[in-house]
Amino acid sequence: MAEATTPISDPYAYLNIAKNPDGSITRDLTNFPCAAATPDPSPQNPAVSKDLPVNHSNSTWLRLYLPSSAVNAGVSSQKLPLVVYYHGGGFILCSVDMQPFHDFCSEMARDLNAIVVSPSYRLAPEHRLPAAYDDGMEALEWIQTSDDEWIKSHADFSKVFLMGTSAGGNLAYNVGLRSADSVSDLSPLQIRGLILHHPFFGGEERCGSEIRLVNDQVCPPIVTDVMWDLSLPVGVDRDHEYSNPMVGDGSEDLEKIGGLRWKVMMIGGEDDPMIDRQIDVAKLMKKKGVEVVEQYTGGDAHGAEIRDPSKRKTLFVSIKNFISSLV
Protein backbone atom coordinates (compact mmCIF):
# COMPACT_ATOMS: atom_id res chain seq x y z
CA MET A 1 0.00 0.00 0.00
CA ALA A 2 1.34 3.46 -0.97
CA GLU A 3 2.49 5.62 1.90
CA ALA A 4 0.01 8.40 2.66
CA THR A 5 1.27 11.88 1.84
CA THR A 6 0.57 14.94 3.92
CA PRO A 7 -1.41 17.56 1.99
CA ILE A 8 0.33 20.91 1.49
CA SER A 9 -1.34 23.29 3.91
CA ASP A 10 0.87 26.41 3.70
CA PRO A 11 1.50 27.36 0.05
CA TYR A 12 3.81 30.22 1.01
CA ALA A 13 6.06 27.88 2.98
CA TYR A 14 5.90 25.31 0.18
CA LEU A 15 7.02 27.96 -2.34
CA ASN A 16 9.64 29.40 0.04
CA ILE A 17 8.20 32.88 -0.33
CA ALA A 18 7.09 35.54 2.15
CA LYS A 19 4.70 38.40 1.42
CA ASN A 20 6.00 41.87 2.26
CA PRO A 21 3.88 44.83 3.44
CA ASP A 22 4.48 46.69 0.15
CA GLY A 23 2.96 43.83 -1.85
CA SER A 24 6.27 42.40 -3.07
CA ILE A 25 7.51 38.96 -2.05
CA THR A 26 10.81 37.72 -0.68
CA ARG A 27 11.98 34.58 -2.48
CA ASP A 28 14.24 32.02 -0.84
CA LEU A 29 16.17 30.71 -3.82
CA THR A 30 18.51 28.31 -2.03
CA ASN A 31 16.70 25.37 -3.69
CA PHE A 32 17.15 26.92 -7.15
CA PRO A 33 20.81 26.57 -8.21
CA CYS A 34 21.72 28.54 -11.33
CA ALA A 35 23.96 27.60 -14.24
CA ALA A 36 26.32 29.85 -16.17
CA ALA A 37 26.12 29.99 -19.95
CA THR A 38 28.45 27.62 -21.80
CA PRO A 39 29.95 29.58 -24.72
CA ASP A 40 32.74 27.11 -25.48
CA PRO A 41 32.05 23.82 -27.27
CA SER A 42 33.00 20.80 -25.20
CA PRO A 43 31.89 17.16 -25.08
CA GLN A 44 30.09 17.88 -21.79
CA ASN A 45 27.84 20.55 -23.35
CA PRO A 46 24.97 19.45 -25.61
CA ALA A 47 24.85 23.04 -26.86
CA VAL A 48 26.84 26.24 -26.62
CA SER A 49 25.03 29.14 -24.98
CA LYS A 50 25.46 32.82 -24.24
CA ASP A 51 23.53 35.59 -22.50
CA LEU A 52 22.43 38.78 -24.24
CA PRO A 53 20.58 41.86 -22.91
CA VAL A 54 17.10 42.68 -24.24
CA ASN A 55 15.80 45.69 -22.30
CA HIS A 56 18.13 47.38 -19.83
CA SER A 57 15.39 49.41 -18.16
CA ASN A 58 13.40 46.22 -17.37
CA SER A 59 16.53 44.16 -16.67
CA THR A 60 15.36 41.55 -19.20
CA TRP A 61 17.77 39.35 -21.09
CA LEU A 62 17.85 36.04 -22.90
CA ARG A 63 19.99 32.94 -23.17
CA LEU A 64 20.71 31.72 -26.68
CA TYR A 65 21.47 28.04 -27.32
CA LEU A 66 23.11 26.66 -30.45
CA PRO A 67 23.70 22.91 -30.98
CA SER A 68 27.39 22.10 -30.70
CA SER A 69 27.11 20.29 -34.05
CA ALA A 70 26.18 23.60 -35.74
CA VAL A 71 29.26 25.28 -34.27
CA ASN A 72 31.46 22.50 -35.60
CA ALA A 73 29.85 22.75 -39.05
CA GLY A 74 30.50 26.50 -39.23
CA VAL A 75 28.57 29.06 -41.28
CA SER A 76 28.13 26.62 -44.17
CA SER A 77 25.72 24.54 -42.10
CA GLN A 78 21.99 24.46 -42.86
CA LYS A 79 19.74 27.03 -41.22
CA LEU A 80 17.94 25.68 -38.16
CA PRO A 81 14.40 26.07 -36.76
CA LEU A 82 14.13 28.65 -34.00
CA VAL A 83 12.35 27.69 -30.77
CA VAL A 84 11.51 30.55 -28.38
CA TYR A 85 11.19 28.89 -24.96
CA TYR A 86 9.65 30.60 -21.91
CA HIS A 87 10.50 29.11 -18.50
CA GLY A 88 7.96 28.23 -15.81
CA GLY A 89 7.50 29.27 -12.18
CA GLY A 90 3.90 30.41 -11.78
CA PHE A 91 4.86 33.90 -13.02
CA ILE A 92 6.37 34.57 -9.57
CA LEU A 93 9.47 32.35 -9.40
CA CYS A 94 12.44 30.99 -11.36
CA SER A 95 14.70 32.36 -14.06
CA VAL A 96 16.23 31.47 -17.40
CA ASP A 97 19.50 30.37 -15.81
CA MET A 98 18.06 27.93 -13.28
CA GLN A 99 19.93 24.66 -13.67
CA PRO A 100 16.91 22.51 -14.69
CA PHE A 101 15.79 25.01 -17.34
CA HIS A 102 19.35 25.49 -18.62
CA ASP A 103 19.87 21.75 -18.96
CA PHE A 104 16.43 21.31 -20.56
CA CYS A 105 17.14 23.98 -23.19
CA SER A 106 20.67 22.70 -23.88
CA GLU A 107 19.43 19.18 -24.47
CA MET A 108 16.48 20.45 -26.49
CA ALA A 109 18.77 22.43 -28.83
CA ARG A 110 20.83 19.30 -29.43
CA ASP A 111 17.94 16.83 -29.78
CA LEU A 112 15.78 19.05 -32.00
CA ASN A 113 18.80 20.38 -33.92
CA ALA A 114 17.35 23.84 -33.39
CA ILE A 115 18.36 27.22 -32.05
CA VAL A 116 16.65 27.80 -28.70
CA VAL A 117 16.13 31.32 -27.37
CA SER A 118 15.05 31.47 -23.73
CA PRO A 119 13.95 35.01 -22.76
CA SER A 120 13.61 36.28 -19.22
CA TYR A 121 10.51 38.17 -18.17
CA ARG A 122 9.59 40.33 -15.21
CA LEU A 123 8.05 38.42 -12.32
CA ALA A 124 4.91 39.12 -10.31
CA PRO A 125 3.73 40.43 -7.92
CA GLU A 126 6.27 43.21 -8.44
CA HIS A 127 5.28 43.19 -12.12
CA ARG A 128 1.82 41.69 -12.57
CA LEU A 129 0.45 40.39 -15.83
CA PRO A 130 0.51 41.46 -18.62
CA ALA A 131 4.15 42.49 -17.93
CA ALA A 132 5.40 38.96 -18.72
CA TYR A 133 3.43 38.93 -22.00
CA ASP A 134 4.89 42.33 -22.92
CA ASP A 135 8.40 40.99 -22.28
CA GLY A 136 7.62 37.83 -24.24
CA MET A 137 6.62 39.92 -27.27
CA GLU A 138 9.63 42.20 -26.87
CA ALA A 139 11.90 39.17 -27.05
CA LEU A 140 10.42 38.33 -30.47
CA GLU A 141 11.06 41.89 -31.61
CA TRP A 142 14.65 41.62 -30.33
CA ILE A 143 15.19 38.41 -32.36
CA GLN A 144 13.61 40.06 -35.41
CA THR A 145 16.19 42.88 -35.46
CA SER A 146 19.16 41.08 -33.88
CA ASP A 147 22.66 41.43 -35.28
CA ASP A 148 23.84 38.47 -33.24
CA GLU A 149 26.12 36.27 -35.33
CA TRP A 150 24.62 32.96 -34.17
CA ILE A 151 21.14 34.10 -35.17
CA LYS A 152 22.25 35.61 -38.50
CA SER A 153 24.32 32.56 -39.45
CA HIS A 154 22.12 29.73 -38.18
CA ALA A 155 18.47 30.75 -37.60
CA ASP A 156 15.78 30.02 -40.17
CA PHE A 157 13.27 32.83 -39.60
CA SER A 158 10.65 30.97 -41.64
CA LYS A 159 10.51 28.21 -39.01
CA VAL A 160 9.78 29.83 -35.64
CA PHE A 161 7.99 28.05 -32.78
CA LEU A 162 6.78 29.48 -29.47
CA MET A 163 7.13 27.08 -26.55
CA GLY A 164 6.95 27.19 -22.79
CA THR A 165 6.51 25.06 -19.70
CA SER A 166 3.83 25.78 -17.08
CA ALA A 167 3.61 29.60 -16.74
CA GLY A 168 5.87 29.67 -19.79
CA GLY A 169 3.27 27.64 -21.68
CA ASN A 170 0.61 30.19 -20.71
CA LEU A 171 3.03 32.89 -21.84
CA ALA A 172 3.64 31.16 -25.20
CA TYR A 173 -0.15 30.86 -25.68
CA ASN A 174 -0.76 34.55 -24.96
CA VAL A 175 2.23 35.75 -26.99
CA GLY A 176 0.88 33.53 -29.76
CA LEU A 177 -2.50 35.29 -29.60
CA ARG A 178 -0.80 38.68 -29.79
CA SER A 179 1.47 37.56 -32.62
CA ALA A 180 -1.47 36.27 -34.67
CA ASP A 181 -2.84 39.80 -34.50
CA SER A 182 0.42 41.39 -35.69
CA VAL A 183 1.95 38.97 -38.20
CA SER A 184 3.19 41.65 -40.59
CA ASP A 185 4.88 43.55 -37.73
CA LEU A 186 6.97 40.47 -36.92
CA SER A 187 8.25 39.92 -40.47
CA PRO A 188 10.61 38.28 -41.40
CA LEU A 189 9.83 36.03 -38.40
CA GLN A 190 7.26 33.42 -39.42
CA ILE A 191 5.67 31.55 -36.53
CA ARG A 192 4.67 28.05 -37.56
CA GLY A 193 3.30 26.70 -34.30
CA LEU A 194 2.94 26.73 -30.53
CA ILE A 195 4.29 24.01 -28.24
CA LEU A 196 2.44 24.21 -24.92
CA HIS A 197 4.19 22.02 -22.36
CA HIS A 198 2.03 21.53 -19.24
CA PRO A 199 0.63 25.07 -19.66
CA PHE A 200 -0.52 26.92 -16.55
CA PHE A 201 -4.26 27.64 -16.79
CA GLY A 202 -6.80 28.29 -14.04
CA GLY A 203 -10.38 29.22 -13.21
CA GLU A 204 -12.62 29.99 -10.26
CA GLU A 205 -14.53 26.71 -10.35
CA ARG A 206 -12.47 23.60 -9.66
CA CYS A 207 -12.20 21.30 -12.67
CA GLY A 208 -12.40 17.51 -12.34
CA SER A 209 -8.64 16.92 -12.25
CA GLU A 210 -8.15 19.65 -9.63
CA ILE A 211 -10.70 17.87 -7.42
CA ARG A 212 -9.18 14.46 -8.10
CA LEU A 213 -5.63 15.70 -7.42
CA VAL A 214 -6.40 18.23 -4.70
CA ASN A 215 -3.58 16.79 -2.55
CA ASP A 216 -1.02 16.66 -5.37
CA GLN A 217 2.52 17.07 -4.00
CA VAL A 218 3.92 19.08 -6.94
CA CYS A 219 1.41 21.76 -7.94
CA PRO A 220 -1.90 21.43 -6.03
CA PRO A 221 -4.71 23.97 -6.40
CA ILE A 222 -3.90 25.52 -3.01
CA VAL A 223 -0.51 26.51 -4.48
CA THR A 224 -1.70 27.62 -7.92
CA ASP A 225 -4.39 29.78 -6.27
CA VAL A 226 -1.61 31.77 -4.59
CA MET A 227 0.35 32.04 -7.84
CA TRP A 228 -2.69 33.49 -9.62
CA ASP A 229 -3.48 35.78 -6.70
CA LEU A 230 0.04 37.20 -6.92
CA SER A 231 0.29 37.43 -10.71
CA LEU A 232 -3.10 38.48 -12.10
CA PRO A 233 -4.00 42.19 -12.30
CA VAL A 234 -5.22 43.56 -8.98
CA GLY A 235 -8.96 43.15 -8.51
CA VAL A 236 -9.64 40.35 -11.01
CA ASP A 237 -10.33 36.68 -10.29
CA ARG A 238 -9.13 33.45 -11.92
CA ASP A 239 -11.81 33.69 -14.59
CA HIS A 240 -9.79 36.44 -16.23
CA GLU A 241 -8.72 35.74 -19.83
CA TYR A 242 -5.04 35.56 -18.79
CA SER A 243 -5.65 32.54 -16.58
CA ASN A 244 -8.80 31.03 -18.08
CA PRO A 245 -8.78 30.92 -21.91
CA MET A 246 -12.29 29.40 -21.86
CA VAL A 247 -14.05 32.58 -20.72
CA GLY A 248 -16.30 34.22 -23.30
CA ASP A 249 -15.85 31.24 -25.61
CA GLY A 250 -12.16 32.07 -26.05
CA SER A 251 -10.18 34.83 -27.73
CA GLU A 252 -11.19 35.89 -31.23
CA ASP A 253 -7.49 35.70 -32.10
CA LEU A 254 -7.79 31.90 -31.96
CA GLU A 255 -9.57 32.05 -35.33
CA LYS A 256 -6.61 34.04 -36.66
CA ILE A 257 -4.24 31.28 -35.51
CA GLY A 258 -6.39 28.79 -37.39
CA GLY A 259 -6.46 31.02 -40.46
CA LEU A 260 -2.68 31.33 -40.40
CA ARG A 261 -2.48 27.53 -40.37
CA TRP A 262 -0.27 27.49 -37.29
CA LYS A 263 -0.37 24.15 -35.51
CA VAL A 264 -0.45 23.69 -31.75
CA MET A 265 1.06 20.87 -29.71
CA MET A 266 -0.61 20.45 -26.31
CA ILE A 267 1.50 18.35 -23.93
CA GLY A 268 0.25 17.32 -20.50
CA GLY A 269 0.63 14.81 -17.71
CA GLU A 270 -2.36 12.86 -16.45
CA ASP A 271 -1.27 13.40 -12.83
CA ASP A 272 -1.22 17.18 -13.23
CA PRO A 273 -4.20 18.91 -11.54
CA MET A 274 -4.39 21.20 -14.60
CA ILE A 275 -4.76 18.38 -17.15
CA ASP A 276 -8.53 18.84 -17.63
CA ARG A 277 -8.02 22.55 -18.29
CA GLN A 278 -5.36 21.77 -20.91
CA ILE A 279 -7.69 19.26 -22.61
CA ASP A 280 -10.51 21.84 -22.59
CA VAL A 281 -8.28 24.52 -24.15
CA ALA A 282 -7.20 22.05 -26.85
CA LYS A 283 -10.88 21.34 -27.60
CA LEU A 284 -11.61 25.08 -27.75
CA MET A 285 -8.75 25.65 -30.21
CA LYS A 286 -9.95 22.82 -32.43
CA LYS A 287 -13.47 24.30 -32.37
CA LYS A 288 -11.94 27.59 -33.58
CA GLY A 289 -10.28 25.87 -36.54
CA VAL A 290 -6.80 25.33 -35.08
CA GLU A 291 -5.06 22.03 -35.80
CA VAL A 292 -3.97 20.60 -32.43
CA VAL A 293 -1.74 17.63 -31.69
CA GLU A 294 -2.36 16.34 -28.16
CA GLN A 295 0.00 14.24 -26.05
CA TYR A 296 -0.97 13.33 -22.49
CA THR A 297 1.30 11.00 -20.55
CA GLY A 298 0.01 8.68 -17.83
CA GLY A 299 1.72 9.04 -14.46
CA ASP A 300 3.36 12.39 -15.23
CA ALA A 301 2.97 15.20 -12.71
CA HIS A 302 3.20 18.90 -13.56
CA GLY A 303 6.45 19.80 -15.37
CA ALA A 304 7.68 16.18 -15.24
CA GLU A 305 10.41 16.56 -17.86
CA ILE A 306 11.89 19.60 -16.15
CA ARG A 307 12.33 17.73 -12.88
CA ASP A 308 13.21 14.31 -14.35
CA PRO A 309 15.90 14.38 -17.07
CA SER A 310 15.23 10.74 -17.96
CA LYS A 311 11.84 11.77 -19.43
CA ARG A 312 13.23 14.41 -21.80
CA LYS A 313 14.43 12.25 -24.68
CA THR A 314 10.93 10.88 -25.40
CA LEU A 315 9.45 14.39 -25.19
CA PHE A 316 12.01 15.82 -27.58
CA VAL A 317 11.39 13.05 -30.13
CA SER A 318 7.68 13.97 -30.13
CA ILE A 319 8.44 17.69 -30.49
CA LYS A 320 10.94 17.05 -33.29
CA ASN A 321 8.29 15.05 -35.16
CA PHE A 322 5.81 17.90 -34.65
CA ILE A 323 8.29 20.49 -35.99
CA SER A 324 9.21 18.23 -38.93
CA SER A 325 5.54 17.93 -39.89
CA LEU A 326 5.46 21.70 -40.42
CA VAL A 327 8.78 22.35 -42.10
Give the catalytic positions in this structure.
Answer: 166, 272, 302
How far is the C-alpha of 274 from the C-alpha of 291, rounded, in Å? 21
Q: Report cis status (omega within 30 of 0) of the bond before 125.
A: yes
CB count within 10 Å of CB 35 equals 16
Q: Is 247 exposed, middle or buried (0-12, 13-18, 19+ CB in 10 A)?
A: middle
**Under DSSP, is residue 87 helix (H, G, I), strand (E, B) or coil?**
coil
Q: Is 22 exposed, middle or buried (0-12, 13-18, 19+ CB in 10 A)?
A: exposed
Asked whether the beta carbons of 67 and 154 are under 8 A apart, the reply is: no
CA distance 115 to 272: 29
CB 189 within 8 A of CB 262: no
Q: What are phi and psi of 209, to 5 degrees?
A: -70, -30
Q: How far apart are CA 25 and CA 12, in angstroms?
A: 10
What CA–CA distance (Å, rounded) separates 142 from 55?
A: 9
Beta bridge partners of 90: none
Identify which of 16, 143, 147 has the alpha carbon closest to the alpha carbon of residue 81.
143
Q: For 4, what's the count of Cα atoms within 13 Å in the CB-facing half-sphere?
A: 2
